[in-house]
Structure 1
Amino acid sequence: MHELGIVFHIIRTVEDVARQNDVTRIRRVTLQLGEVSGVVESYLQDCWKWAAAKSELLPGAVLTVETIPAVTVCEDCGQQYPTVQFGRTCPHCQSPRTHLLQGHEMLIKEIEAVETGPTAPERA
């Protein structure tokens, strides 16, 4: 299960960003995950809950996953098509000369901090 290693990497990155920005608690992390990345979201979520609970900055933090659709382009006819539906063979010209444009990515899109409350200006 490589999802645990991925979660550890995400948490280290989020903790680094939090420290750089003087954030003491994280509420939510939004991850963009390619449709053909090979990561199983349910395993990722289970690993996240376990690992986040052990972090000082992330207990109770939610991991939101947005799927990036897989898109392939054909080198012969130039058409783009949905990878999962049609695979490696172009549905337009039947060419096997194709390559993946998107859908393999894994990106941290957003980190939402817990607000500690606004600091109101003192009144005289």
Structure 2
Amino acid sequence: MHELGVVFHVIKQVEEICVENDLTEISSVTLELGEVSTVIEDYLHDVWNWAVLKKSEHMKTAKLIVETIPAVTFCEDCQQEYPTVEFGKTCPHCGSKKTYLLQGNEFNIKEIEGC
């Protein structure tokens, strides 16, 4: 389960932002999570509360908010976009396999709410 490592990375980044901006407490962290990223949202929530309590100075009660970015694939042959999870790498419009992921693999810290 690499979600624990991901949470540790987020904590490190947010703690650095706290120091740079003289923040004393973080009340929430909003993450953007791509639908086909390798991070499992349920596992992320499972480790969040433990990790911020044990490994963070400024985030001990911070709420984790996750926003899902839908996975969208583009077909080079017919120039159409389609939902990746439903159809995979094969374009449902023309059957081509000349496709690539436009979005849905992201993992971003979107917003930090603190004081």
Moved over 4 A (4+): none
Residues 66-112 of structure 1 show CA distances to partners (whole Å, capped at 9, x for unaligned) of: 00000000011110001011111000000011000000000000000
In structure 2, the residue corresponding to 1:36 is in which secondary structure? coil
Aligned to 2:32: 32
Aligned to 2:57: 56
TM-score, with length taken from structure 1: 0.90
Q: What's the C-alpha RMSD, in Å, of the aligned pairs?
A: 0.7
State the identity as a percent.
63
Aligned to 1:8: 8
Supply the AA of the counterpart residue of 2:53: A
State the Cα distance separating 1:38 from its structure 2 match. Answer: 1.6
Larger radius of gyration: 1
Separation in structure 1 between the aligned mates of residue 50 and residue 102 of structure 2, nearest angstrom = 33
TM-score, with length taken from structure 2: 0.97
Q: Summarize the alignment of residues 11-90 of structure 1 with structure 2, pairs less than 5 Å apart.
A: 11-54=11-54, 55-90=56-91
Unaligned segments of structure 1, at least 5 residues: 116-124
Separation in structure 1 between the aligned mates of residue 46 and residue 15 of structure 2, nearest angstrom = 19
Supply the AA of the counterpart residue of 1:48: W
